[in-house]
Structure 1
């Protein structure tokens, strides 16, 4: 797909992978609309020349804010990037259950709602794409993040089924599976990280190639191990 001139909605573009991604897409000539929920980051992103819709996608009201912010403008590409870690490890005490529903909604429900609301718009474009940013943990979970892993695995399954439904239509479905990326969510980790800029570069390249999956960095190795032995991949990751 030629991205120049395409109107792209990227959720969660004021920080982390999303912030790198909107810049990488702008560099290839795309028109960007993004979302954010933190006032300071929204202001900084707007100051850099981007349109930002203020929307907290951890609740249904955030979906309505995005739809209202778009108005009647069509989009060519929806990138479901917004997401967050969800603390849920009984080895460190009883998890805070009040964090569960917002985290699940942000990581899984919000992308499904946005696809549902915007797919008619995408179907009407000459060519269009849905990009779901999941994680290598969608392939095999690790022990410390069962809820986060479950939401990413759920979005992976949803995207695979959606791709089948949309076969032969104008809408492509791409899943981007990052490894550990040097973002605020992974603060404190020092090994095995790639930069957000490199992650974004590989996602953009996959979009241009109309790929079905973008296995980024060490996820390529995990996919290879999983193709040989799913059980081995699960054993490796669950201990991480």
Structure 2
């Protein structure tokens, strides 16, 4: 992916990783359009970044995706990149009845990127330097058992990205996957943003941009902190790694996430 001269659409760009990426690409002189469900978050992002553009989008709504994609392509004909960042993460007790949280997680994290890709792809195929970047997670490879549907959607996004890349290999559309570790955002609530166990957002964005600039043909973007999760799936002792990883996430971490502020925030 080239890092200058783009017109980039970033979903979930009002906060967290999405806003961090938006500001980094904006600082390099790209035209950046951020979308999100909450107008107030988008307005805060625009106020801090003159020249950036924004549009409200409910990524859960297929009809809204189609309308918004058509509007943005008409308004920004140079649009040549999309970063599928919008997502939610919620804890679930599989023994409790009800699947409302699971269904909303799937519609946001999985159906949203698939639908938006479908809506934008005819336009992107006509661009010489087009990019589709999905955002999965280290949890796609080693699931965190307290957020089962989130991890399942991220594993599915990883699989979808591989198929998308393969099918578009004879086109001018580059398909990349950003695989974040645990990063200080408000994805699961305010406490998440200050958790010392999470990677500082500024450091994460800096490392990601460095990888993109130094390896523009990369298919996967993995900062150093996520590499143990990314590679664990290929190890002979995966079951032991999975148990150690989830055991370490038990106790205080789970209790905090299950609190009132830990229901999961949009990013």
Q: TM-score, normalization: structure 1?
A: 0.90
| Displacement of 1:78 | 0.8
Displacement of 1:47 in angstroms is 1.9
* SS state at 1:173 partner: strand
Cα separation, 1, equivalents of 2:97 and 2:191: 20
Q: Structure 2: any 5+ residue segments left out of the alignment?
A: 250-267
| Alignment map for 1:143-158 (pairs within 5 Å) | 143-158=145-160
Give the conservation status (yes or no) of the 8 Å contact 2:73–2:79.
no
Could you give the per-residue CA deviations for residues 168-208 of structure 1, whole angstroms, max 9, x where no partner exists?
Answer: 32111111111111111244352421122222233333433
Question: 1:96, CA displacement in angstroms?
Answer: 4.9
**Equivalent in 228, 232, 241 of residue 225 of structure 1:** 232
Match of residue 140, structure 2, among 133, 138, 141: 138
| Pair 1:97–1:26, CA change in 2 (3 A) | same
1:107 and 2:109 correspond:
yes
**Matches of 2:67 and 2:204 in 1, distance apart?**
28
Shift of 1:85: 0.6
Listed as ranges, the gaps of 5+ residues in structure 1 are none
1:159 paired to 2:161: yes
CA positional deviation for 1:75: 1.5
CA contact (8 A) 2:161 2:177 kept: yes
Secondary structure of residue in 1 paired with 2:177: strand
SS of 1:148 mapped into structure 2: helix
TM value normalised by structure 2: 0.82
Query: What is the CA RMSD across the aligned residues, in angstroms?
Result: 2.0
Aligned to 2:90: 86
Equivalenced residue count is 238
- Output the CA distance in 1 between the equivalents of 2:73 and 2:185: 31
